[in-house]
Amino acid sequence: MRTFKTIRKQRVSHIAGKTDSDKRRLRRDLLSVRRGLPADVVRDRGRSLAERALDLPELARARTVAAYVSVETEPGTVALLDALCARGVRVLLPALLPDHDLDWGAYTGEGSLARVRHGGRMALFEPAGDRLGPDAVTDADVVLLPGLAVDARGMRLGRGGGSYDRVLARLERSGARPALVVLLYDAEVLERVPAEAHDRPVQAVVTPSGIRRFPGA
pLDDT in tens, 105-120: 999 998 899 999 887 7
- Contact criterion met (CB below 8 Å) for 20 and 178: no
> Whats the size of the chain, residue-wise?
217
Instruction: Show the CA angle centred on residue 37, arms to residues 32 and 38, nearest 5°.
Output: 145
pLDDT for the residue 3: 58
pLDDT of amino acid 123: 86
The three-state secondary structure class of 143 is: strand
Task: Name the residue type at position 160.
Answer: G
Instruction: Identify the pLDDT of residue 196.
Output: 81
Q: Which domain holds residue 198?
A: 4-213
Give the pLDDT confidence score for residue 217 in this predicted structure.
58
124 three-class SS: strand
So what's the pLDDT on residue 17? 44
CATH number at 124 reads: 3.40.50.10420
> Residue 18's pLDDT is what?
46
Cβ contacts of 169-178, under 8 Å, gap ≥ 24: 169/198, 170/134, 170/135, 170/137, 170/138, 171/137, 171/138, 171/143, 172/200, 174/135, 174/138, 176/137, 176/138, 176/139, 176/140, 178/66, 178/140, 178/141, 178/142, 178/143
Residues of the chain falling short of pLDDT 50 = 9-18
Total-model pTM: 0.88
pLDDT computed for residue 5 by the predictor: 56
pLDDT tens digits for range 45-84? 999 999 999 999 999 999 999 999 999 999 999 999 999 9
Tally of domains within the chain: 1
